[in-house]
Structure formats: C-alpha cells, structure tokens
Amino acid sequence: MSPLVSRFYRALRLGVIPAAGLLAGCAQVPEGADFSDPYEAKNRGVHETNVEIDRTLFGDGQRKGIVPTFPRPVAKGFINFASNLAAPGDVVNRVLQAKPKPAIETTLRFVINTTIGIGGLFDPATAMGIEKDETDFGETLAVWGSGEGDYIVLPILGPSTERDAVGIVVDLALDPLNTLLPSPESTYALGAAAASSAASRQVNADLVESILYESADGYAQARIIYLQNRRYELGEDVYTIDPYEDPYGR
Amino acid sequence: MAADRLSRRRALTIAAGGIALAATGLPAAALNVDEARALVGRLVGDINAVIASGKSEGAMIKDFERIFARYADVRYIAQSALGPAGRSAAKSDVAAYTAAFQGYIARKYGKRFREFIGGEIEVTDAHPLKSFFEVVSIARLKGQSPFDVRWHVFDKSGKDLFFNIIIEGVNMLATERTEIGAMLDQAKGSIPALTAALKKAG
C-alpha cells in the first residue's frame, strides 16, 4: 500500500484547514508560534516545484488542470477505498502506541467496510458510529517521545517534519498490505492512494487554492497551518495567543 | 460536563429571573464562562441562520461581515495581526487599515461558507483559559468528519467579543499575522499600500 501517498490526502481529510497537507507552499514568524525551519531556502524551492505540479494537474482556480474533475460520489469512493486500505497500517501503529481501543475499532471498521462497504468503496462503519481514526508512524514516534525536528517540504508530498518524514519511510515497511501483498496488487494499492489524493485535492479545491494561489506567501501559510494542525492531531501543545500579553493589539 | 450542568442551571436561573442574557454590545460587568458560552451560542446561531438562508454567495459574505463586526473585536484582531508596524503609524492609517481588514476577513472566510451549506455548528463546552475564555464547538458539515472549532472570548474592550478562532489547532490570528506580515513586506512597509492591497484581497 502506500502510506506514502496516503499521507497526502490524510492531512487533507478534514477538509477545512488541512490544505497544507497537500502541497507545501517566509514571512515573519508570528511571535510565540515556535518552529524550526533551518532549510527554508531549500524548502521554498521544493514548495515552488510542488505548486507548479499542482497547478499543472489541478489548476489554480483561474486555469483548469489536466486532471478531469471527478463527480462527487466517485471522489468519495476513491477516498474511502484508499482509507480502508490504509486501515491495517493504522492498526499496527495504534498497537505500537499501546492504544488498544482505536486498534480494535479500526480493525472492526476494516472488516465492516471491506464486506458491507463493498471492498471499502463505501463507509458504512461511520454510519454505524465507528468513526475514522487515522494514524501513522510519525504519531507513533511522537507517542514514544521523539521531538518534531525541523520543518521540511518533501517533493510531491508537501509539508512535513523530520519526525514525520522518518515516519513515512517506516510506514512503508510496517504496512501489512505493503509487505504481504504480491507485487501487482500492491501497485494497484498505490494507484488507489494516488486517486484518493487527487480526489481530496478536488474536494478541497477552494481551501487549497486559497492557500497556494491567493496568499501573499503560500509557503509561510502552508507551514504554519501544517504544523499547528499536526501538533493538534498529535495532542501536542496548541499555540495560544493571550491578548493580555499581546503588545500590539491596542 | 460539570461546566455543562452549571451553565444550564445558571441559564435557568437567569431565565427564571426574567432577565435576558446580556446582549452583545452592552458593557459586561466581568466576563464569566456562562457569558462567554452564551455569546458564542448567539454567534453560532446567527452563522447557522446564514448557512441555512440559501442566499447568494455575495449576500452571505455581507451577512458574515455584519456578524464578524458584531461579535468579534475587529480592532484588536486587525492591530494584533499588523504587529509592531501599527505602533508608529498615523491613527488615520491604522483606522483605514482596520476597516479594510474587516472586509478582507469577511470575504476570505465568507467564501468558505459554500462548504458549510447543509452543515451546523454546535457549542459543546466552555472553560477559562489563561486570562480569557475558550468556548468549544463542533462543526458538522455534509460529507465530512465533525471537526473542532474553538472560540476565544474576552472583554478587553469592555464588551464580550471573540478575538480568535482555532479550527483543529489552526489559529486564525496566528495565520493572519503571518499573512498580513507577508503583505506588509510586499507593500514595502507602507500601511496605506497594505490597506489598498487588502481591499482587493480575500
């Protein structure tokens, strides 16, 4: 399977903020929003390339891209299918994180959606009240106490951190579907994840395009949004602005 | 949970006393958790009504700007986003910037209302945080997993108003500081040039 590409849409799954997960996009660092970006010059170069790829494939809101727009139900099907294929890897990571409850629930989801959900194209498990719970080895590393490391922008995959990039590599090796499936099937799984990523990009077009193409500095927007959302997902400290300690707001 | 019960009981007491909840715009004695929750409750009610109205996008953005102006401390948000540059600037420049910022935010976030059609926001909790209050809500949009929206409420101006929205950890004020900072750089540090750019942005 492809935790690799699945990360792509995973960061996007919420639809509202997540854009940053897709393609990465220096401005001033807001006070208190700490992060480490020593490779900024290099990261900006990768970001620019990613944005050009995005523009070619999906368009920028002005011009259309070369990928045709999937009808909504088809897009949902792609997303559900790839998410279901990622479930075994999610279970392995929840076990490594010593979190049995989500491990059991995701196993149950996988069984329900693979059978009743016709191979994972539909998501009846959510309708039954078993919500999606996605994770990855980056989160496992965080649970084990590893720090976030520096911010990096990966080619195609977009915003990441050193910890998350290590996680992506380990997920490839950890994923049962990746290791157990014979080669043609694992290639199909990669294709499914790519289709899912494209579908997520289209479903969240307004948001992604506002960050990449309408921001004064898309790179800085993608960085702050990715890092804040990722820290929230991992239950790490959420950056809070105290207006009574803000020297500028009046 | 305890806060839930507490606020419900208090709301009942207030209702029994025949006193309407403090209307926005009235000076609040000292903001407390119930008032913060009530403020966001009204705000979310107004937003839900706009979402359900089925108006055109342009009309919804106008409604959103009205809601933003009524419930948010626009002056604080705008000036905090501007940062140190606002200190040495002429008052009239900062006032013009603040007005342009209000329209920019309304257009930028109002455009996203399309995604909210058929959805709803529900307040679930409120608690003190640092020296202000955090009101927690859940947004349920069509075809998406529910997500967490937090409203930070204070009464620094003498009125109960929100000054920040945190969506799944993403801090509106922090992202706008970054964006306004980048725009100010592009405007070579000129606040009137930034104001002109803001009128076209969003």
Selecting from B114, B174, B175 the residue whose C-beta is nearest the C-beta of A206 gives: B114
B43: CATH: 3.10.450.710
Q: In angstroms, rounded to a whole number, what is the distance separating the alpha carbons of residues B152 and B154?
A: 7
CB contact under 8 A, B84 and A248: yes
User: Quick one: closest CA in B to A15, which residue?
Assistant: B144
Query: Would the pLDDT of A10 be above 80?
Result: no
Selected residue of B170, B194, B198 to mutate for chain A interface (largest A Cβ count, 10 A): B170
Q: In angstroms, rounded to a whole number, what is the distance separating the alpha carbons of residues B63 and B107?
A: 11
User: Quick one: closest CA in A to B108, which residue?
Assistant: A210
State the smallest CA–CA distance between residue B138 and chain A in angstroms: 13
Query: Would the pLDDT of A7 be above 50?
Result: no
User: Quick one: closest CA in B to A129, which residue?
Assistant: B145
- State what percent of residues in chain A have pLDDT above 90: 68
Q: In angstroms, rounded to a whole number, what is the distance separating the alpha carbons of residues B31 and B152?
A: 12
Answer whether B139 touches A (CB < 8 Å). yes
A124 burial type by CB count under 10 A (0-12 exposed, 13-18 middle, 19+ buried): middle
Selecting from A28, A229, A243 the residue whose C-beta is nearest the C-beta of B132 gives: A243
CB contact under 8 A, A244 and B141: no
Selecting from B168, B178, B186 the residue whose C-beta is nearest the C-beta of A30 gives: B178
At B30, is the pLDDT very low, low, confident or very high (cuts 50, 70, 90)? Answer: low
Average pLDDT value for residue range B54-70: 89
CB contact under 8 A, B170 and A231: no
Q: Are B156 and A244 in contact (CB under 8 A)?
A: yes
> What pLDDT is recorded for position A31?
44
- The pTM score is 0.83
- The model's pLDDT over B73-121, given as tens digits with 9 standing for 90+, comes to 999 999 999 999 988 899 999 999 999 999 999 998 888 766 777 788 8
Query: Would the pLDDT of B179 be above 80?
Result: yes
> What pLDDT is recorded for position B33?
86
Residue B124 host element (H or E): strand B120-129
Answer whether B98 touches A (CB < 8 Å). no
Token duo for residue A87: 């479930």
> What pLDDT is recorded for position B9?
44
Selecting from A30, A126, A229 the residue whose C-beta is nearest the C-beta of B170 gives: A229
In chain A, what residues touch B147 (CB-CB under 8 Å)?
14, 16
Query: Would the pLDDT of B69 be above 80?
Result: yes
Average pLDDT value for residue range B161-184: 94
Domain that holds residue B185: 2-198
The distance of Cα A211 from the centroid of its chain, to the nearest Å, equals: 15
Selecting from B156, B170, B201 the residue whose C-beta is nearest the C-beta of A17 gives: B170
Q: In angstroms, rounded to a whole number, what is the distance separating the alpha carbons of residues A110 and B183?
A: 46
Residues in Cβ contact with A95 at an 8 Å cutoff, skipping those fewer than 6 apart = A103
Domain count, chain B: 1
